[in-house]
Structure 1
């Protein structure tokens, strides 16, 4: 199930929300059957946009940071989910090694790592940090602004296993997205669980592949509930390797932007939506909002180099594979600032979330940018569970439940995605 957390959105629930709330038993059974056939990633976070008329994921992170942004009240949920995950993977486990990102970590990232360590320590594991960064050559203790301390150690590789000095883990938890490719130190491990697996790294992973899997999931889920899958699915298109500085480099981009905007306009007309449609162009690989641009009219792309000017100029990647994704407005605000919910999961369980808030961005812009801040989603004081058939006003509905449903649909898609790129499964075909 999904915890009953307080959301910023108020007012009457719409038809999509009511359909989801009424179908709770059917939905939960569907998820149970999915997890009988597929293995969820060990952890995951999903950025969700709620436009009022549409609710959809816009990003799925398989190496989530930001754990310290969750409300401390939800920590027991994360611990319980961590226990369930470890019991399933390696029930006799004593030790867990967390592999962080390379490079000089920020205090915010270190705070996230400390929270992860706390979760799995309370789940019954000895937890240490092993860096695969060649620059980390000796153990170092780092003080955090809140007074916490953490020890970062260089990872050590024996013939078949990875650990740190005097520490041999059963399971290795990657919190490093491997953008530069899987290093040899992580390859060919024996009798150790590496989670997420190497193919989850950005050297292999593509956003377009994930959203292709999500499209499949949303169609099946839409059929289950009798709803149009578009209401929970952002349409997308993708271009292969492009260089927009070449004369023909932007042609694929222009063609796909035009086609996708046309499809969105048709949907808006079908549902009587008066908003101006837009698409988001971003790199098909990578994280943290790099390589994003909002496009509202294909004419914005006509002039060579036009699309990399303005606010997006510093962050857009001018060459490489790109995904063109339907833009989803966000209908939520915290203290008049635009906000979007981010849902966190361990194994198949929703364990909390927060709002990403940006006072300087509009409802159709990327909020994962410098200047964003985070507001934890806490438990509702009423501690209610969703009540089928009860309309807003009679009893506060669990608005967060539908966010948890959409986030778990993205989690199912991620499991499909990892299976599709698993070299061991491909070898058996």
Structure 2
């Protein structure tokens, strides 16, 4: 169940692991105090990259799919976390409406919805699925390949003022989105009152920006690094934002190349400081969007000069036809972990403020400096042994639970950053 980590003996990360283990009581108290001031998203998944000298998040998903890839042994923990989340939001909650993505032919995604529904039902909720698809006019059953079925139902407005959202015979007190709204915010989701919409609409890609998230994360990484006396760079990727891009018209090309050069130079300086022989690289990706689309790797600013038509098309439009005008240039973090000799990266899942498991994203045809969120990837459940709590008696690098605890700490930093990000971009908070 636990893959061999080839990074287990890599230099500076051992120092980071050692400091985290020594500071565990301080770290857990710090998180506890932070969560008294901030509200975590209902759920979240974080993509990490472990280069042996650095462990940092590279993406944070507020509408996580992939619950079906978690280790079955961890599902009771997910149920407990869901119970804790519901008790805080609406203790008397009885009915929950789950709104998935529109696509109904992606069986892997539908298995995720089945698993998520099961977790929520075991947490004491009646769960039904409401779809945003215009094609579904009546309750529609979809059989799953491994048995079982899902029933998707058309959404409707309820109440005299039509301010509540539900199904024809189902009035929920909570609505959970598992749809990142890449296609835009549909009118039926707007002006919903007297119900809890989780997460808020501003968490969707029409409003959310990755640069806002990583600004919040950078702020927290500095505070956390000071707390345990480490270099914040060890857990934080450099990044820059470029706006007003048009890849088809080559608009903003000079701005982008300057940003790439800036991030590469800052990274190279750190590599020299720590004696790292690998070549720095950056990842250019949309400031809004998901599924690993529109991602480009560059080891030199000139790599982005005179892109061919295929690359321009790839960078111009992402999921649901969302056009790309803003990008972030993020420091590339090598992944030197492998599962069965294939390159892998850990993905950590959380419900409320609790780590509930994760998996390795594995790709047999990709290298340690490439995007693994691409066709051909597969998943290996990541077993957070002993509920991801560290073995204080073990030496750093010698026990998988210690490395997994480290994953959980960095992932929770990203979760806290998501909380700050959502607070700062909440239109209702601004109006208040």
Q: Same fold (TM over 0.5)?
A: yes
Q: Which residue of 2 aligns with 1:332?
A: 337
Q: Which residue of 2 aligns with 1:317?
A: 316
Structure 2: unaligned runs, 5 residues or longer = 318-323
Residue 403 of structure 1 and its aligned partner are, at CA, apart by: 0.3
Q: Which residue of 1 aligns with 2:114?
A: 114
Q: Which residue of 2 aligns with 1:163?
A: 166
Q: 2:248, 2:316 within 8 Å by CA — same for their partners in 1?
A: no
Alignment of 1:124-139 (within 5 A): 124-139=124-139
Q: Which residue of 1 aligns with 2:417?
A: 413
Deviations, residues 195-229 of structure 1 (Å, cap 9, x unaligned): 01000000000111110110001011111111111
In the superposition, relative to structure 1, how do residues 383 and 108 fare at CA in structure 2: closer, same or farther (>3 Å)?
closer
In the superposition, relative to structure 1, how do residues 394 and 409 fare at CA in structure 2: closer, same or farther (>3 Å)?
closer
Q: Which residue of 2 aligns with 1:240?
A: 243
Q: Which residue of 2 aligns with 1:190?
A: 193
Aligned partner of 1:254 among 252, 257, 269: 257
Alignment of 1:3-402 (within 5 A): 6=2, 8-9=4-5, 11-12=8-9, 14-158=14-158, 159-246=162-249, 248-302=251-305, 304-306=306-308, 315-317=314-316, 319-380=324-385, 385-388=389-392, 390-392=394-396, 397-402=401-406
Q: 2:279, 2:299 within 8 Å by CA — same for their partners in 1?
A: yes
Normalising by the residue count of structure 1, what TM-score does the alignment of the two structures yield? Answer: 0.94
Distance 1:171 1:152 in 2: 17
In the superposition, relative to structure 1, how do residues 95 and 215 fare at CA in structure 2: closer, same or farther (>3 Å)?
same
Kindly indicate which of the two structures has a greater share of residues assigned to helix: 2
Deviations, residues 214-249 of structure 1 (Å, cap 9, x unaligned): 000101111111111100001000100211343553
Residue 383 of structure 1 and its aligned partner are, at CA, apart by: 7.7
Normalising by the residue count of structure 2, what TM-score does the alignment of the two structures yield? Answer: 0.93
Distance 2:314 2:140 in 1: 33
How many correspondences in the alignment? 419
Q: 2:177, 2:199 within 8 Å by CA — same for their partners in 1?
A: yes
Superposed CA RMSD in Å reads 1.8
RCO higher in structure (CA 8 A, sep ≥6) = 1
1:426 pairs with 2:425:
no
Residue 156 of structure 1 and its aligned partner are, at CA, apart by: 1.1
Distance 2:400 2:286 in 1: 40
Q: Which residue of 1 aligns with 2:320?
A: none
Structure 1: unaligned runs, 5 residues or longer = none
Secondary structure of the corresponding residue to residue 17 of structure 1: helix
